[in-house]
Amino acid sequence: MPGSPPGTPPGAPAAASTAAPAPAAAPSGGADVQAREQTVGAATALLDDYQPGDTFFASPSRTLLARGAGLRVPHGRAPLSDRVADTLGTAREQGLAAPFVVGAVPFASNEPVALTVPGTARWAPPLRQDPLIALPAKTPSGGPWQMRPVPGPEAYAESVGEAVRRLERGDLDKVVLARTLELRSSADLDTPAMVQRLARRDPRGYTFAMPTGPGRTLLGASPELLLSRRGRHIVANPLAGSARRSADVAEDVRAAAALLESAKDLHEHAVVVQAVRDALGPLCSDLFVPPQPTLVRTATMWHLSTTVSGELAPAAARRPQPTSLDLALALHPTPAVCGTPTGPARGLIGELEPFDRGFFTGMVGWSDERGDGEWVVTIRCAEAEGRSLRLYAGAGVVQASVPASETEETAAKFRTFLDAVGAEL
């Protein structure tokens, strides 16, 4: 129901903390059996019920299926947090017991958001707890696919080379350059099957499908938690520094080990972690930042990962606690998707990328009237419209970057979505 609080899915056990970028330890003994019995089919039922126009969001802590737009957050000059607060207040006045907003925020702060208070919402435990998620997903209908890279690999490599020259000149420290792959099918797109493939391939990650306009859907499987808040507890999980995975086990292990020792990738990661520390530190009474990154993996990539956790400073009369959206906006865009310093990086992106990012490298998620919520970096995604898909992938460029290597990295990142549609690059 629309008034069901996000923290307590109706008809399901209490969800794990939103402040958990990785799965929590499973209960043992009889509790584990009871938990499994309660969650069998609950999350996959929402996945199976998804239809174009719905909002689907799955994280390591919960699964959401929402329908209808009870209220939309308007575009305007007022800060986004204020517009969201006003929209939630209106929803409360209209009788919703526990309103929340869900949707997508674009890369550029001056563009319209796609955030709504849904008409109805169903919550369930996370997909990773549902044994039925292991069942295979069918291959989506559609194809054969016509593909057009924008820019092409050679032009993208030239842009990376130009960015390296600017970095060597001292114009900035890092920039993230993206490219797109436009796919067109002769048949209608099967977006529910695409969402199924994305979710079943990595049920421990963040799978989403969000309407972003009439006939348009943003869908993807992001590995990166931007910010979660539950009460005073917050978590951010920045990822930066990547390596392509291999089907050969020995080669896959070598790639992971090399990533942990790569000076270029460790520097790129450190820049992002420092930005998160700088943004969250003044807002927290306690903030823990591990001294070294660890590795996380998706089906196609290895990533350097740091889990930053903390406790917000107590609220005061003149300093209320920031909401999950406030905190996410304080981080957005991180150097992992834009660069540093942010202004020069944005300028270079506008100069070198021959397309509008739209919602790519923005954020998707939800926030309730208490300020709790989860926001995920919008990567490993595509936008579907009509019979067309536009895929996005980016790579972080620093002085040590090699254009050919960054081009290969973006090709590897396209694999997440190409696999979801059954296409070959």
Residue 330: CA count within 13 A, CB half-sphere: 18
Query: What single letter denotes the amino acid at residue 171?
Result: D
Would you say 194 and 145 are in contact if contact means Cβ atoms under 8 Å apart? no
DSSP 422: T
Q: Which of 224, 353, 374, 383 is catalytic?
A: 224
Question: How far is Cα 121 from Cα 107, in angstroms, rounded to an integer?
Answer: 26
Q: Which of 174, 374, 409, 413 is catalytic?
A: 174
Give me the phi and psi of 336, to 5 degrees please.
-70, -25
How many other CB atoms sit within 10 Å of the CB of residue 187? 11
How many other CB atoms sit within 10 Å of the CB of residue 112? 15
Would residue 138 show up in a list of annotated catalytic residues for this protein?
no
Give CA angle at 179 (384, 362), nearest 5°: 65
Helix (H) or strand (E) holding 423: none
Would you say 173 and 271 are in contact if contact means Cβ atoms under 8 Å apart? yes
Q: Before 333, cis peptide (omega within 30)?
A: yes
Would residue 174 show up in a list of annotated catalytic residues for this protein?
yes
Structure tokens belonging to residue 168: 């060597």
Give catalytic residue positions: 174, 224
